[in-house]
Amino acid sequence: MADHKSRVESGISLDFEGRMSYGDYLQLDTLLSAQKPLSDKQDETLFIILHHVQELWLRLIIHELEFAMRNLREDKAGIAFKALARVSAIQEQLVTAWDVLSTMTPSDYMTFRDQLGQASGFQSYQYRLVEILLGAKDERMLVPHKHRPEIHARLREAFDGPSIYDEAIALVARAGFDVPKELLERDFSKTHQHNEALREIWLTVYREPERHFELYELAEELVDVEDRFQQWRFRHMKTVERIIGYKKGTGGSSGVGFLKTALDRTFFPELWAVRTDL
């Protein structure tokens, strides 16, 4: 006969009157009360939770990118590498999250799509901040956030400051390479443009990886981040195409067409270019 004794061990805490519990620490009441569907349709809850999860991961990516940038600035590359590796791991979660949303059919989505109004992922300020920290600088992308002064100010500060690639380039210069002055003293509110001299520097690093291993590893960490970011963009685009085809996006964009334009852009052009030269 099976033994049905309780599995609860004598040392496990059971009484949380006046004490902090798991739910208290994570503020689960707040977190779980944030899912407020505007319809009674089954798949709207999936849609909301999927985007909540993505926003939480984006928050952690921002936390790690800013940490990595501070450490690059302080010549603590090894610590920055760990943060960048974590960003890549988080991005894997973002990519696979689209598999869950893809279980929603076009018919499912159309039952509640009108409830979204003009709301769109395009308006995610955290996604925009990730793009800015990686180096995408487009003034018009800040406009949807002007109605939230505190958010707009945070985006503006990052927009006017160096990206993680700018910090990497500065580290390359401090390592003794002859980085062009215009790359070190430029207007950071502008997107970095391909520079042949910098391409040659990275080519030297890649041709002698053991001699320049720290910079070599930095370059590969950055490529990992951009590679996964592009995978996320691609899966986003294909998920949208699968669910709404070529309809316009809820925020007024061309939808799939708009998302495809991001796939041709790069944050770290020289790091991709050197692969042809090796």
Say if residue 63 carries a ligand binding annotation: no
Identify whether the C-beta of residue 115 lies closer than 8 Å to the C-beta of residue 250.
Answer: no
CA-CA-CA-CA torsion sign (36, 39, 44, 45): positive
- SS3 for 51-114 is HHHHHHHHHHHHHHHHHHHHHHHCCCHHHHHHHHHHHHHHHHHHHHHHHHHCCCCHHHHHCCHH
Q: Is 140 annotated as a binding residue?
A: no
Q: Are 86 and 25 in contact (CB under 8 A)?
A: no
Closest CA to 258 of 277, 241, 276: 241
Q: Is 264 exposed, middle or buried (0-12, 13-18, 19+ CB in 10 A)?
A: exposed
For residue 190 the two structure tokens come to 């502008």
Contact present, 230 and 256 (Cβ < 8 Å): no
User: Are 232 and 94 contacting, i.e. CB atoms less than 8 angstroms apart?
Assistant: yes
Tell me: is residue 147 an annotated ligand-binding position: no
DSSP code string of 212-256: THHHHHHHHHHHHHHHHHHHHHHHHHHHHHHHHTTPPPTTSS-TH
The answer on whether 250 is annotated among ligand-binding residues is yes
Q: Could you give the CA distance from residue 151 to residue 143 in angstroms, rounded to a whole number?
A: 11
Residues annotated as binding site for substrate?
Answer: 109, 113, 250
Q: Pick out the residues of the known binding site.
A: 109, 113, 236, 250
Residue positions forming the annotated binding site for heme: 236
